[in-house]
Amino acid sequence: MGMRVLTVVVAAAAGAAVSIAVSRMPIAAAADKPSFKVPRTSWGDPNLEGIWDYRTITPLERRAELGDREYYTDQEIAELEGRAAKRLDEAPDTSVQTGLVHADYLTDPGRHVDESRRTSLIIEPKTGKIPPLTPEAKERQDKAAAARAAAGSVAGGRVDSYLDRPLYERCITRGLPATILPTLYNNNIRIEQSPGYVAIVHEMIHETRVVPLGGSFGHVRSYLGESRGHWEGDTLVVVTTNFNGLAGMTNVGTPGSPQGNTPTTTNMKITERFTRTGESSMDYSIHIEDPEVLTQPWTAGYPMERDPTYKFFEYACHEDNTAVRNYITTSRFERAQAAKEQKK
């Protein structure tokens, strides 16, 4: 990707401490940025159509050892991108490894740090982390963890049915906001537009969100909620409510893992902003509010790059997907072995 910077980063970088920490940060003042006239559709809306790539090795949450530092240094970026290149370019390790969701050579998380040079995709709060949970949400989280631990299964808990496995693992949905956060692979969306509508097609699990422009929210709830969009200048703003709350523990805190650790509720509200900044560049941000489980809202942001050469492949997740069956078999075997040991 080319060197672009999110607008919010330019504003944040005005502080002297940040300027010193990343003295070579390639940030241009807003006045110095070349103007870009966003192209229009035939009916006059800003044109966001195309396949947009948002791969990045920048983590959602800031690593603990970085403390309050918002930006990487040049040396840290070189080390991180060097490891990513080695992982992607060298001959893969095809030996049998345990405890993995996917072997490294089966993933494509990208090879570059986010162009803002931030140490996390989370912009607010300044900690770069998902805010603490409310007491009620923490209790719910602890109960779920205790239930899995009590089951004592490497399959992640007692598994007697496909219903005992998460929706993501069953290839139904990652839910929002997880479905549009960078993860192990399939970090692409395709945007298609028609008068009065915008469709956002996610490569992961081939989910499509059809977003009406304008209108009022209804009463139907779903895993991905109900979205309504509008234009603020050249920015597409998508507000999503009416979540069904059935996704349970989502993958927000641990992208790429079948078992998430952050609960969500039917009162969650998500606001997304898509702003095209160049012929092949777009800034994206997502703001999550869920007062029943989060002590404060949080916001993440990252750039996307349009890639006209990329082709979506069918996400045929259930073709020859034996994972759920293997979880059930393993869980039953372990419990049978444990029962034998108790009889001795």
On average, the pLDDT of the chain sits at 80
For residue range 117-150, list pLDDT tens digits in order: 999 999 999 999 999 989 988 888 787 777 666 5
pTM: 0.81
Lowest mean pLDDT segment, chosen from 1-15, 125-139, 188-202, 221-235: 1-15
Q: What does DSSP assign to residue 106?
A: G
**Residue type at 229?**
G
From CA 265, how far away is CA 56, in angstroms rounded? 28
> Bridge partners of 40?
46
For residue range 153-167, list pLDDT tens digits in order: 444 567 788 777 777
| Residue keyed to tokens 């992640």 | 156
| Residue keyed to tokens 């293997």 | 326
Contact 49, 191 (CB under 8 A): yes
What are the residue ranges of helices labelled H in the chain?
7-12, 16-21, 74-89, 135-151, 323-343
Contact 307, 282 (CB under 8 A): no
Contact 229, 209 (CB under 8 A): no
Neighbours of 315 (CB within 10 A): 15
How far is residue 40 from each of residues 46, 211, 277, measured CA to CA in Å?
Answer: 5, 18, 13
From CA 319, how far away is CA 297, in angstroms rounded? 38
Domain limits of the chain?
7-90+102-306
